[in-house]
């Protein structure tokens, strides 16, 4: 789609749509107890691992996608293509974004949401207060222009010419309602006179995000906005932020095909064609006609096609002949009553000559991700830059499904987890119902001494810096200062930061007291690991967690750079000096892991 308005990309991403969210926080702090909130509904949709804040919108005459994007939120040039792609995926009923039709309902993507960013986000619908007013008239007055009546003017002409719409349609009716609210001194709109001063509604009010909330379901101007709820003190407060999803009219997806062939097609990112006739072009003569009801076909995104058959011939043509004639067509023979797994086995065998793997791996800061699946299919992206990988694995029960947070995290990294439960449709990914904890426990890693002291405090150890010690050396008793760490299990050690050396160290050890010498360049995790080893306590360095409760053979392994320490009370503490992605933190928390960040380090 050609973009002829580069000026719209000069401002930050979706700045105008962020303002209501900022206003939401400010209004909670500065609410006028005599006013009322004007609320607007937004929907939360799922796309490639993200919750997307969307504005449901009914296409009007003269609309086009770029125009709607300009009205709803200003996109930076680098982000426009991404959000246009999100729009296409969220609105599959829009077959051509250059040809949207009046009356169509579309979801306009506004912002990517982190987990728990908005109250009630998991419900799929959030209600955000966008402006504080005492009454609708107050805000209407701010969106009017003064005008002096000329000879021959009528209210209907003025509204049609200056506000828009034709007599009787929705735009005109709303304009008339706004006109009456802005001109309460005019008792009869059919009786105006030349020279009279009036106030006309400004058409720009229609572009405000809260505009539709000015009218009730019957199209009449509301007399009073949503009032605040009474608290025990008797003061009104802002009202709820969540409403039922059924209140919004959103487009319903087309009915999906079911059955083993449909499951297999969905798993590899294709679509099943099982009705009608498909015509394959021939170099000479008539096109080859494929009866899809007898021989269904999977149409893949890269243009390849897979014909499914239970016979040795397709439309009286031998299978090898068909495959030799069209390079992008594969024919696979499957057994009668084939399961989705049978079909996938046959399909992947047909593509066995292509480079393939059943493992993927990548690093993301402090974590290493390794994915193993029964089948992995890679498809190039639309722009040809970032491929998408579909990792397909059969499972035997719902309890074996990969944790939702890991599925979302991998989806954000262009890896799609698809788990086939025989006879069950592929599970959709609703918004996660777990809120991410914003606060993360931390210990001071700004220096080696601060690290040991804060680590000991958190673990319940007794740390005594600059403790006087005495030991025999060359026939005399020597007094020195060191740092004593008691682990509570009867074991004590001295922590030395380079003050003791040579024979003095051996002399102290001869007394039965262990010394842990810390090198100047020792990293925080190395220090913690040596402390635990010296104490004789259990720990795991760089622990590995599995995304699903099933065999590691076909699973997602998450290795975290850190030290995992099991506590006597059953708690597991994971110390790390890396920034862990939010969804991985959520997964770890759900696995009973308390994440503790070492702060103030070079990596922090």
Q: What is the DSSP string of 401-418?
A: SPPHHHHHHHHHTTEEEE
Q: Which is more confidently placed, 364 or 139? A: 364
Residue 596 has pLDDT above 90, yes or no: yes
With 90 as the cut, is the pLDDT of residue 267 above it?
Answer: no
- Do 106 and 100 contact (CB within 8 A), yes or no? yes
Q: pLDDT band at 207, cuts 50/70/90? A: confident
Q: Would you tell me how many other CB atoms lie within 10 Å of the CB of residue 46?
A: 18
Which parts of 115-161 fold into alpha helices (H)?
Answer: 136-141, 155-158
* Residue of 501, 469, 472, 473 whose CA lies nearest to 483: 469
Q: 596 vs 239, which has greater pLDDT? A: 596
Segment of 21-25, 166-170, 574-578 carrying the highest mean pLDDT: 574-578
In this prediction, residues 215-242 reach a mean pLDDT of 49
Q: Using one digit for the tens of pLDDT, what is the confidence trace for 54-82?
A: 988 888 888 888 888 877 655 555 677 88
pLDDT at site 10: 38
Predicted confidence band of residue 417 (pLDDT cuts 50, 70, 90): very high
Mean pLDDT of the chain: 79
Determine the average pLDDT of the residues in 297-312: 87
Contact 359, 370 (CB under 8 A): yes
- Residue 174 tokens read as 């709303």
> Does pLDDT of 459 surpass 90?
yes
- Kindly indicate the confidence band of residue 283, based on its pLDDT and cuts at 50, 70 and 90: confident
The tokens for 236 are: 């009104």
pLDDT(540) > 80: yes
pLDDT at 242 over 90: no
How far is residue 7's CA from residue 14's CA, in Å, rounded to a whole number? 14
270 vs 380, higher pLDDT: 270
What's the confidence (pLDDT) of residue 300? 84
The pLDDT, as a whole number, for residue 360 is 94
For residue 250, pLDDT over 50 is answered with no
pLDDT given for residue 507 in this prediction: 83
Question: Which backbone phi and psi does 366 adopt, to 5 degrees?
Answer: -90, 10
d(CA 373, CA 555): 6
CA-closest candidate to residue 39, choices 60, 23, 54: 23
Residue 114 tokens, joined: 């982190």
Query: pLDDT-based confidence at 229, cuts 50/70/90?
Result: very low
Do residues 596 and 574 touch, judged by C-beta distance below 8 A? yes
Strands 329-333 and 36-47: unpaired
pLDDT given for residue 364 in this prediction: 93
**Residue 85 host element (H or E):** helix 77-90
DSSP state of 244: -
Q: Can you tell me the mean pLDDT for 444-450?
A: 92
pLDDT for 282: 78
Number of H helices, E strands in the chain: 14, 32
**Over residues 133-155, mean pLDDT:** 83
Structure tokens at 290: 């494929």
DSSP 3-state assignment of 278?
strand
Residue 200: the pLDDT is 93
Task: Encode pLDDT of 475-501 as tens digits.
Answer: 788 778 889 999 877 788 889 888 877
| pLDDT at 211 > cutoff 70 | yes
Is pLDDT at 394 greater than 50 in this prediction?
yes
Of 152-156, 289-293, 435-439, which range is least confident? Answer: 435-439
């Amino acid at each position: 789609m050609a973009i002829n308005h580069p000026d719209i990309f000069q401002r930050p991403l979706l700045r105008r749509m962020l303002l209501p969210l900022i206003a939401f926080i400010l209004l909670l702090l500065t609410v006028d107890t005599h006013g009322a909130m004007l609320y607007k509904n937004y929907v939360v949709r799922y796309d490639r691992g993200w919750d997307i804040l969307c504005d449901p919108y009914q296409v009007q005459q003269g609309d086009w996608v770029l125009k709607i994007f300009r009205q709803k939120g200003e996109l930076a040039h680098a982000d426009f293509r991404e959000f246009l792609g999100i729009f296409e995926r969220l609105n599959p009923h829009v077959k051509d974004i250059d040809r949207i039709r009046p009356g169509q309902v579309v979801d306009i993507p506004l912002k990517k949401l982190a987990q728990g960013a908005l109250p009630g986000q998991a419900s799929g619908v959030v209600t955000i207060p966008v402006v504080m007013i005492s009454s609708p008239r107050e805000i209407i007055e701010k969106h009017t222009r003064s005008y002096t009546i000329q000879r021959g003017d009528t209210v209907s002409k003025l509204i049609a010419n200056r506000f828009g719409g034709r007599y009787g349609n929705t735009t005109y009716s709303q304009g008339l309602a706004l006109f009456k609210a802005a001109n309460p001194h005019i008792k009869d709109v059919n009786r105006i006179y030349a020279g009279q001063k009036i106030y006309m509604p400004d058409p720009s009010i229609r572009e405000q995000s809260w505009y539709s909330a000015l009218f009730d379901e019957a199209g009449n101007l509301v007399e009073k906005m949503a009032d605040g709820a009474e608290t025990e003190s008797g003061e009104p407060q802002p009202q709820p932020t969540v409403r039922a999803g059924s209140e919004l009219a959103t487009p319903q997806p087309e009915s999906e095909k079911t059955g083993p062939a449909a499951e297999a097609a969905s798993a590899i990112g294709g679509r099943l064609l099982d009705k009608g006739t498909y015509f394959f072009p021939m170099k000479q003569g008539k096109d080859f006609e494929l009866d899809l009801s007898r021989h269904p076909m999977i149409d893949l995104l890269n243009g390849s096609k897979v014909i499914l058959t239970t016979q040795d011939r397709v439309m009286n043509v031998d299978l090898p002949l068909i495959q030799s004639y069209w390079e992008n067509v594969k024919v696979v023979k499957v057994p009668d009553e084939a399961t989705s797994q049978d079909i996938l086995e046959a399909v992947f065998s047909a593509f066995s000559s292509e480079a393939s793997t059943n493992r993927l791996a990548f690093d993301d800061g402090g974590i290493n991700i390794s994915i193993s699946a029964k089948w992995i299919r890679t498809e190039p992206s639309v722009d040809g830059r970032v491929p998408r990988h579909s990792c397909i694995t059969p499972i035997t029960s719902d309890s074996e499904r990969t944790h939702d947070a890991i599925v979302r995290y991998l989806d954000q990294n262009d890896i799609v987890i698809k788990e086939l439960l025989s006879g069950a449709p592929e599970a959709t990914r609703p918004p996660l119902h777990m809120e991410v904890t914003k606060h993360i426990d931390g210990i001071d890693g700004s220096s080696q001494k601060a690290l040991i002291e804060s680590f000991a405090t958190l673990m319940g150890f007794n740390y005594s810096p600059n403790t006087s010690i005495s030991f025999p050396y060359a026939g005399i008793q020597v007094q020195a200062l060191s740092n004593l760490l008691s682990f509570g299990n009867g074991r004590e050690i001295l922590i030395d930061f380079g003050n003791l050396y040579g024979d003095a160290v051996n002399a102290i050890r001869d007394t039965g007291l262990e010394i842990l010498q810390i090198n100047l360049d020792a990293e925080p995790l190395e220090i913690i690991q040596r402390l635990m080893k010296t104490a004789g306590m259990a720990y795991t360095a760089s622990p590995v967690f599995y995304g699903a409760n099933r065999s590691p053979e076909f699973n997602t392994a998450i290795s975290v750079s850190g030290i995992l320490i099991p506590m006597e009370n059953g708690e597991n503490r994971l110390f790390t000096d890396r920034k862990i992605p939010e969804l991985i933190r959520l997964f770890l928390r759900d696995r009973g892991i308390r994440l503790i960040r070492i702060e103030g380090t070079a990596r922090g």
